[in-house]
Structures are given as C-alpha cells and as structure tokens.
Amino acid sequence: MDSLFETPTSATGGDAGLSASPRPSAPLAVRMRPQTLDEIVGQSHLLADGSPLRRLINGSGAASVLLYGPPGTGKTTMASLISRATGGRFEALSALSAGVKEVRAVIDVARRRLVDGQQTVLFIDEVHRFSKTQQDALLDAVENRIVLLVAATTENPSFSVVAPLLSRSLVLRLRSLTDDDIREVLSRAVADPRGLDGAVSVTEPAYDHLVAVSGGDARRALTALEASADAALRDRRDLETDSAVAEPADPAADLPAAQLPVVDLADVEAAIDRAAVRYDRDGDQHYDVTSAFIKSIRGSDVDAALHYLARMIAAGEDARFIARRLMIHASEDIGMADPMALQTAVAAAQVVALVGMPEARLALTQATIHLATAPKSGAVASSIGSALADVEAGKTGNVPAHLRDAHYSGARAMGSGVGYRFPHDDPDGVLAQQYPPDELVGVDYYIPTDHGAEREISARVSRLRAIIRGAVRRRGSR
C-alpha cells in the first residue's frame, strides 16, 4: 500500500472501491481518507487555484496523471477525488497482480462505455512495477482518452515509466508531509466522527512520538494511532470491569469511566513496539547527535557512527540532512586519502532523492561505513583554508602576463599570453612555468598526508612541484 490509504479494488459495475464511503469497521486510515479538496493536508504546491490537479479534481479538466511521491502522501486520495469529479466509472488495477490481459480487458470495457458517452477512470497503483509491455498496452487508450489514467508511483517516473506514457501524462510530484501536516492529520482523526470521534485524548508526548515514527507517512501515523487508541480503550474497559466487580453495590461511585481514556507515550510505545527516541530536531539533541555522528566517522569508529545514524533515522531525522552531512564529511575529513568516499556519499544522496525512505537508509548506512573505515585526511579542508586566508589577507598579486587572456584584440600587444607554454606540447605533459602571482611563488597550500591514496599523491605532488618550479628557481638565481 504505497498511497495515503489502502489500495482500492476494482469498481467495475458500481461505485465501490475508492468512490464508495468506507464501512464503519474499516481501518482508521481508510475512514479518514479526505472526501474533499479542503480535507487534503499538504501538497499546497499542487492544489493552487487554476492548477492542473485542482481542475481535474473539480471536474473541469481531462488529462491522464502520474502521481509521484513517497508513501502516505495522498496519491490514492487524489485518485479518489478525480474519480468522483469525472462522474465516470472507476477501475483499479495493481501492478503487483495485473498483467497485459487485465489491462486490455479494462480498455475494452472502457471503449464500449465511451460509445455511450461514459468516461472510465483507470487507477493503477505502483505503476513502476509494470513491465514495458504492460505500459505500452496503455498508450493508445491514454492518447485517445479511452481511459483517464491516474497512476501512482513511489519511484521517479523518469526512470521507471516508458517515455511515450510520460509524454501523454501530467507528472505531479507529491512531497513528504511535514511534522505539522502529520499532527493535523492525527488531531483530526481523534476528533472526527469518521475517526475516533473524541473517544480518547492524546498527550503531547504521544503525538510527538506518533509524528516521529510516521516518517512523513500519514497512513503509518494513523495506523499507529489506531493501535494505540485500541490499547487505551481496552485497558479502560478492563479497569471498568474490575471496578464493577469490586464495588457492585455503589453504581454511583466515581469510577475511571468519568474520565476520557488517555493515550500517552507508553501506550504508543507498547502498541507499535518502538521506544521513543529522545531527539529534538530543533534542539540540543539534534546538534549533539549530529556532532557525535560526524566525530565518530572522523575517528574511524564505524560502530559508534552506525549507532548515531540509527538514532537519527529512528527519530525521523530528514534523510537529506544526513546525506548532506556525509557529503561534507567526505571532502572535509577524507578528501584525497580516498577519492571514492565523496562519490559514495553523493550516490547515497541520489538514492535518498530518487528512492526515499525507508529504503534509502541502506545507502546512508553504506556511505557511513565507507566513510568511517576510509583513511582520513584533512588536507582538502586545510588547503582551501590556507589559500583563502592569504587571499583575505591581500596576498593576491597580479596574474602573470603569460597566463592572462589573449583572445581579444590587442591583448598580445600588451604582453597578455606572450610566452605561455602549452603543457600538452611536452612529452610528460608537465613543464617548468610560473603559475602563481610573484608574491606566492613557492607557497604550498596542499600538504598531502601519508594516509591511503594520499601516500602516492604526496610523492606525485612533490615531483610535479619540482618540475613546475624549475623555471622559477632559475629565474630567481639570475
């Protein structure tokens, strides 16, 4: 179930599935599925006045749509609203179970309906799991609007959907819900008659933990809330039963029934079997854990680094923040001692962007292990720091005349470019020539260590400097 709520079943022959009202016994996440635009939480960037999605949901547009975003962000909800707005018949397929035969069968039915002037909305969940052949089977029906396709995917459609289908559809990207969005979804579910109808109250620490474990997924948050509320109500019923047995002669006694059952942090922890992690993303814990994470990597303690990574992930830290810290660390504390470290960190950041959590935690873990076990060097950071310090101290000087731009008229008459020697003309590709301003001749900014790949780089840098500065030494000796 990749969307905000349950994946629907086929609605052929009636208004079942997404377009039907959920039964009272349905899961809380299903009962709380938004019924109107005003009930949608988040995604304001897609629902502005006049936007293609708003026109579709209001019934004034007709275009196939690919809804792309993380789990629990409202993809199925929007498909439901589009289906209601069109007034057509609704069909739903899951890419996990449907094949080309099922796709063609739906299209054949839709073609017959179109003769009678009735539009068919075809919802396909996890469309990225469709093979190229299955996706190609949709092309003609989508292009000729035999069906109005609403497809949902958690993967970037640029990589998982065939180009012809992409070109025939609007691609709309949904964003992860913020903490405030999730809290609004939860508080609404507690009070709404479709939800818990005020049967329980929820403490702030319990709300905080529900938000943290949701990971921006509204369905996950509501499922955890329902389990927690069920546990609190069950405990309340057990307490009332025990009290009635202990004091049967005093029905007017002030029993716990006079108070609303409370869902507290302990209830949430017990219901979802996950302890709350003390971690304030806007406070000291955020900075302390992040600092410990980076320092553990710098200190090559891979186990401590993984511990702090787990704390950040468990507390719902933004995966993009973790990826950014890894990329910075790869250059700041490893650099040329292991040039592949930066590539690994960048790759992890791409996985976060293209795949998302929770799967991206594996890439973050791989990058953490790589960086923690890599040889360390601060030479990259110290080299640019030293160079910037000289520049800020005014040690700039003039660019040597032979290095200046000589592509404009009259440049060579002023000496620009005159005497420049092209390194590729030398058999070794390196030759004696002054590159820095006079004031900085002979200054070494990059000081390689003897760690990892820098051991070899250090020897190479020494040879390069000896060759390049040969002309400088001869000039100075005259």
Residue pLDDT, tens place only, 259-290? 788 888 888 877 776 544 555 555 456 678 88
Report, as an integer, the average pLDDT of 131-139. 86
Which DSSP symbol is given to 237?
Answer: H
Higher pLDDT residue, 387 or 415? 387
Which SS3 state, helix, strand or coil, does residue 427 take?
A: coil
Do 178 and 93 contact (CB within 8 A), yes or no?
Answer: no
Please give the C-alpha separations between residue 291 and each of 79, 279, 286, in angstroms, as whole numbers.
43, 13, 9
Confidence of residue 191 (pLDDT cuts 50, 70, 90): very high
Query: In CATH, what number does 17-173 get?
Result: 3.40.50.300
Is CATH 3.40.1400.10 what the domain over 179-246+256-272 is classified as, yes or no? no
> What is the C-alpha to C-alpha distance for residues 234 and 267, in angstroms, rounded to an integer?
11
Do 189 and 222 contact (CB within 8 A), yes or no?
Answer: yes
Residue pLDDT, tens place only, 280-336? 555 456 678 888 899 999 988 889 899 989 988 887 778 888 999 999 999 999 999
Cis peptide before 437 (omega within 30 of 0): no
Confidence of residue 211 (pLDDT cuts 50, 70, 90): confident
What are the start and end residues of each CATH 1.20.272.10 domain in the chain?
Answer: 284-373
Report, as an integer, the average pLDDT of 74-100. 78
CATH class of 284-373: mainly alpha
What are the start and end residues of each CATH 1.10.3710 domain in the chain?
Answer: 396-477
> Residue 159: in which H helix or E strand, if any?
helix 157-160
Residue in 225, 229, 227, 221 with CA at minimum distance from that of residue 179: 221
* Res. 472: pLDDT tops 50: no
470 residue type, one letter: G
Please give the C-alpha separations between residue 191 and each of 187, 243, 413, in angstroms, as whole numbers.
6, 28, 82
What tokens does 404 get? Answer: 């200046």
431 residue type, one letter: L
Please give the C-alpha separations between residue 360 and each of 70, 161, 209, in angstroms, as whole numbers.
12, 20, 22
What tokens does 304 get? Answer: 């401590």
Q: What is the DSSP string of 182-220?
A: HHHHHHHHHHSTTTTTTSSEE-HHHHHHHHHHHTT-HHH
Report, as an integer, the average pLDDT of 429-443. 86
Q: At what angle do helices 319-329 and 340-354 cross, to 10 degrees?
A: 170
What tokens does 45 get? Answer: 């960037």
* Res. 248: pLDDT tops 60: no
What tokens does 317 get? Answer: 């830290």
Q: Give the residues across from 91 on adjacent strands.
A: 122
Residue identified by tokens 């739906």 is: 106
What are the start and end residues of each CATH 1.10.8.60 domain in the chain?
Answer: 179-246+256-272
What tokens does 297 get? Answer: 């990597």
Report, as an integer, the average pLDDT of 237-266. 60
Residue pLDDT, tens place only, 17-30? 555 566 777 888 88
Q: Which of 34-38, 84-88, 276-280 has maximum average pLDDT?
A: 34-38
Helix, strand, coil percentages in the chain from 3-state DSSP, rounded to 5: 55, 5, 40
Q: What is the pTM of this model?
A: 0.54
What is the sign of the dihedral through the CA atoms of 444, 448, 449 and 455? negative
Q: What's the mean pLDDT when you consider all of the chain?
A: 80
Q: Give the residues across from 123 on adjacent strands.
A: 92, 150
Q: At what angle do helices 284-298 and 302-314 cross, to 10 degrees?
A: 150
Overall fold of domain 396-477:
post-AAA+ oligomerization domain-like (1.10.3710)
> What is the C-alpha to C-alpha distance for residues 130 and 23, in angstroms, rounded to an integer?
31
Confidence of residue 469 (pLDDT cuts 50, 70, 90): confident
Beta strands 89-94; 120-125: pairing state: parallel
